[in-house]
Structure 1
Amino acid sequence: MRAGFPDFRLGTVLATSFTGTLSERQGNPVERIPTPQRLVDWLAASGLAVPSCTPAQLELARELRESIHAAATAAAIQDPLPASAVQVINDRSAQGRAAAVLTPEGQRQWLLSSDSPVEDALSVIAADAISIIAGERDGRLALCASPTCRAAFFDTSQSRTRRWCDMNTCGNRQKKARFNANQRKNPSSAD
């Protein structure tokens, strides 16, 4: 993406990928959309290309991100959904006028209005969050087992027992930490 910024972690589920734009929430948080242009970049990488974004729209996006995270976390641990988070998600979903269209290649593409493309993109993300939190899709919401991450993710594995939001980051980090701890306990096993 852009030099000087952390890479995006793009998953297969739009809403939880969006919440991943703030990672390591319980450790040293990493903000992956610190500027309006980074939000434009993330939206483009996620199939929701917009021409530009204002600082106010970035704040709306962050408010939606945090609301999705709060609601998804509550759903994952089977707590009541926070009313304020539900309200933000519903408001963003209702404000959009995006339309799904079929490309000649048989792919879904989003048409965003030229009047409010960022708001339309946020409505698509909010609608995706509603779909997974309401249990309309095959899978389950879970929280990353990494104590510094705790990201909400949508587990579509066959067994529904996935532990990490991303095996290449959190999972590998935890496996490496376990390996290093075992090496310290049993230094002779490294020979």
Structure 2
Amino acid sequence: MSPRFPDFRLGKVLATSFTGTLSERHGDPVERIPTPGRLADWLAVSGLAVASCTTAQLDRARELREAIHAAATAAARQDPLPAAAVRVINDFSTRGGAAAVLTPENDRQWRLRSASAVDDALGVIAADAIGVLAGERDGRLALCASPTCRAAFFDTSQSRSRRWCDMGTCGNREKKARYLAGRRADAAAGT
């Protein structure tokens, strides 16, 4: 990956990892797919390699990303899913033509119609979002406790009480802020 771009935050759930390509939504937003080439990079590391992407395909990918984020946020809050987001997710899911294939290692991989089939890749992401939103997986949608992040993530922890989208970033940042605030309070109190 190019050092001029922020690292990808890859989770175990394709759909919520995709929404994580825009982070710090309530702070200083960090766009992790700012160019068509960067979208192709993200798709490749997510097992959906395409030869290239166009600006129009990047725009469509961002439309899908925001629809998934809106629906996942509503689901995490136990609110009704936004009708417009559902329409976008369904449209992308039916537009794609990827097929699931089994590898000799007993893993599922996605086979796109061609290396230029960005719509197929986006269809896989939309289908994954449908599975998560429909409750077909063991876990729950949650929102990151960081006030600047609020990313939707899929919590599969045993207690379903995970607070952070990523402990290595949001969790550590929030814990460090609380620690420093405590130290400042102790210093102000003269202890």
The TM-score bracket by the shorter chain reads over 0.9
- Structure 1 residues 98-150: Cα deviation after superposition (integer angstroms, max 9, x where no partner): 00111122221110012851000000000000001111110000000000000
2:48 paired residue number: 48
Residue 3 of structure 1 and its aligned partner are, at CA, apart by 2.2
Does the 8 Å contact 2:33/2:39 carry over to 1? Answer: yes
Find runs of 4+ consecutive structure 1 residues off by over 2 angstroms. Answer: none
How many residues get paired?
A: 191
Q: Which residue of 2 aligns with 1:78?
A: 78
Q: Specify the alignment match of 1:177 in structure 2.
A: 177
Q: Is the 8 A contact 2:48 2:121 kept in 1?
A: yes
Which residue of structure 1 aligns with residue 102 of structure 2?
102
Equivalent residue number for residue 151 of structure 1 = 151
The normalised TM-score by structure 2 is 0.97
Amino acid at match of 2:91: D
Shift of 1:188: 9.0
Counterpart Cα distance in 2 of 1:99 and 1:19:
22
- Unpaired runs of 5+ in structure 2? none
State, as a whole percentage, how many aligned pairs show the same letter. Answer: 76
SS in 2 for 1:142: strand
The alpha-carbon deviation at position 83 of structure 1 amounts to 0.7
Shift of 1:172: 0.2
* CA distance in structure 2 between the aligned counterparts of 1:115 and 1:26, rounded to whole angstroms: 35
1:187 Cα deviation after fit: 2.7
TM-score by length of 1: 0.97
Q: Partner residue of 1:7?
A: 7
Partner Cα separation in structure 1 for residue 150 and residue 45 of structure 2? 24
Query: Quick one: distance in 1 between partners of 2:116 and 2:126?
Result: 15
